[in-house]
A = this chain, B = another copy of it.
Amino acid sequence: MNSSNNNYSVIHTGKLENINQSRFSLESLGTIQGKHFLKDELNLSGMEVSLNILPTKTSMPFFHKHNENEELYIFVKGSGQFQVDNEIFDVSEGSVVRVAPVAERTWRNNSAEDLTYFVIQAKENSLTGSTVEDGVITTRTVNWEQTVEHA
């Protein structure tokens, strides 16, 4: 069950193959199948995230860049090719790509299975300080036996 309060939100999208059923509509692009944006659903304030499937033997039909946001692509299934400006490279399970806002990017699935990947946007140069030191261990004791499961 999806649930949330000010401190957290959780959405259960199900098996990753379900991404195929997602649809995203934008006036300038029409309807895109296989793309599920989650920022608004999760109430994120520092990043956007989308779950994506590009079907076999298809390409993004355009290049795009960004005004402010850095992008991170995490590939989890399938294989394809990615182009940034004049550079092209293969991607597959476990490939992780950073793209600066100003760069022109596109990608394709030239394989025989779905290309499954996540895209995260965050504002370029917005991190301050060390991300490792940003985490603080608290004194609360972990005790799974005392917890009551969320209804």
Contact = CB atoms under 8 A, between A and B. Distances in A.
Interface residues of A, number: 97
How often does this chain occur in the complex, in copies? 2
A52 interface: no
Contacts of A11: 95-96
Interface in A1-25: 1, 3-16, 18
Given A63-B142, A64-B137, A65-B136, A46 B94 contact: no
A24 to B, nearest CB: 9
A113 interface: no
A30 interface: no
* Closest 3 pairs between A and B when the two form their complex, measured CB to CB: A46-B122, A48-B131, A7-B103
